[in-house]
């Protein structure tokens, strides 16, 4: 995962002093292009990394900073740990982040810890088109990291509201940003593209003891998906494409026990209606067989439309 690699690249720089992208690639078993992107990502995140051209050149830490990371400023440490905390690289990545946190100067450790827990990027798709980051993202990220209450102007389905909230974390899902926040009525989730104003109050935010952004988001995501996906579409799946289908559908895929006589795996796909599920998965072709009559009819219509356009006569020259 990206977080694992960034930690590994940083520790490699600390250990060797100067490295080339080729050396990073060989050490971490990645491509030179990926190594260069990771080195550039560290620099963009505020880590004091610079590159020098020519013979004996490469990438180095400014001032030869070592494992105590004293070359970082407080802002640079926060920026780095926001970047490392955005994905879920599993236990190994989280253990690496803890080691880096321990290596920070004590006066910055709490802020960097909050930064690492501030943002989560949920990579499982809901099928939406990515959007530009909303203007409210930057002030809300600052409020989460600083642990400060904000007054939030929000445009919801029932109209515009203004309320004071305790920012707990930010989640990016399919390019849409969400704020998880504490309110007098309990924890709530706000879409940032519906936030029209953010004003810091100067008061400290109340953060529930033991709050974990990943666990809290998993609960909210489950609630969202129950609301969005009310129909169950049964499908027989060629086992060779099942790993890819798991990545595409994530929690919307429910695998059933047993298998068909030809070895295909029975699954249930959660979606708003069977016709839309069929269109969403049409690219899998004959690797999937839909049991639902409405889904089968939708695929027949799609096949007829495609055949009428591409099935006869020469293609464009």
Q: What is the pLDDT of residue 267?
A: 94
Residue pair 128/175 in contact (Cβ under 8 Å)? The answer is yes
Across 21-25, 167-171, 312-316, least confident range? 312-316
- Over pLDDT 70: what percentage of the chain? 70
Helix (H, G, I), strand (E, B) or coil at 17: coil
pLDDT band at 122 (very low <50, low <70, confident <90, very high): low
d(CA 22, CA 58): 9
- Rounded distance, CA 93 to CA 121, Å? 15
* Sequence-ordered list of residues with C-beta below 8 angstroms from that of 46, at least 6 positions apart, any chain: 72, 73, 75, 76, 77, 79, 80
Structure tokens at 72: 């970082």
More confident residue, 235 or 95: 235
pLDDT greater than 80 at residue 156: no
Q: Is 14 exposed, middle or buried (0-12, 13-18, 19+ CB in 10 A)?
A: middle
Q: Tokens 């920012």 correspond to what residue?
A: 167
**Non-local CB neighbours of 62 within 8 Å, separated by 6+ positions:** 48, 49, 50, 71
The position carrying tokens 């795996």 is 265
Tokens of 211: 């709050």
Would 2-116 and 229-310 be classified into the same CATH topology?
A: no
**Under a CB-based contact definition with an 8 Å cutoff, are residues 264 and 237 in contact?**
yes
Band of residue 265 on the pLDDT scale cut at 50, 70, 90: very high
Over residues 160-173, mean pLDDT: 89
State the chain's mean pLDDT as an integer.
77
Least confident of 81-85, 251-255, 261-265, 306-310: 81-85
- Please give the sequence-ordered ranges of beta strands (E in DSSP) within 21-175, or none if there are none: 49-52, 58-61, 119-122, 148-156, 159-173
The structural domains of the chain, with segments of one domain joined by +, span 2-116, 137-211, 229-310
Strand pairing partners for 309?
none
The better pLDDT of the pair 127, 242 is held by 242
- Chain center to CA of 313: 45
pLDDT at site 96:
47
Highest mean pLDDT among 136-140, 228-232, 250-254, 266-270: 266-270
What's the pLDDT at 89?
47
What's the confidence (pLDDT) of residue 228?
A: 60
Total-model pTM: 0.44
What is 137-211's CATH number, 3.40.640.10, 2.30.30.520, 3.30.360.10, 2.40.50.140?
2.30.30.520
pLDDT digits (tens, 9 = 90+) for 190-206: 989 899 999 999 999 99
For residues 271 and 282, what is the distance between their CA atoms, to the nearest angstrom?
14
Write down the pLDDT at residue 42. Answer: 78
CA distance 171 to 317: 47
pLDDT of residue 74: 46
| 229-310 CATH | 3.30.70
Q: What are the strands, taking DSSP E only, across 25-96?
A: 49-52, 58-61
Q: What is the structure's pLDDT at 249?
A: 87
In CATH, what class is 2-116? mainly alpha
Structure tokens at 140: 């809300």
- CB count, 10 Å around CB of 169? 24
């Amino acid at each position: 995962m990206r977080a694992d690699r960034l930690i590994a690249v940083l520790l490699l720089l600390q250990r060797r002093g100067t490295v080339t992208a080729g050396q990073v690639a060989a050490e971490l078993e990645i491509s030179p292009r990926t190594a260069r992107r990771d080195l550039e990502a560290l620099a963009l995140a505020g880590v004091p990394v610079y590159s020098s051209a020519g013979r004996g050149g490469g990438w180095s830490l400014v001032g030869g900073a070592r494992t105590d990371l004293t070359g970082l400023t407080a802002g640079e440490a926060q920026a780095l740990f926001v970047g490392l905390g955005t994905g879920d690289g599993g236990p190994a990545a989280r253990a690496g982040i803890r080691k880096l946190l321990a290596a920070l100067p004590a006066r910055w450790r709490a802020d960097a810890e909050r930064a690492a827990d501030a943002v989560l990027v949920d990579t499982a798709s809901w099928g939406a088109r990515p959007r530009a980051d909303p203007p409210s993202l930057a002030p809300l990220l600052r409020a989460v990291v600083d642990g400060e209450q904000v007054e939030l102007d929000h445009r919801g389905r029932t109209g515009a509201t203004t309320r004071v909230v305790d920012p707990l974390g930010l989640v990016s899902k399919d390019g849409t940003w969400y704020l998880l926040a504490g309110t007098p009525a309990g924890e709530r989730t706000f879409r940032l593209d519906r936030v029209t104003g953010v004003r810091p109050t100067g008061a400290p935010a109340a953060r529930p003891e033991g709050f974990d952004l990943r666990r809290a988001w998993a609960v909210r995501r489950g609630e969202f998906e129950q609301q969005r996906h009310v129909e169950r579409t049964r499908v027989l799946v060629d086992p060779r494409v099942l790993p890819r289908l798991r990545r595409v559908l994530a929690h919307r895929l429910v695998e059933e026990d047993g298998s068909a006589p030809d070895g295909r795996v029975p699954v249930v796909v959660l979606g708003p209606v069977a016709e839309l599920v069929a269109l969403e998965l049409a690219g899998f072709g004959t690797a999937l067989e839909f049991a639902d009559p409405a889904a089968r009819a939708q695929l027949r219509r799609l096949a007829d439309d495609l055949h009428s356009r591409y099935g006869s006569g020469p293609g464009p020259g």
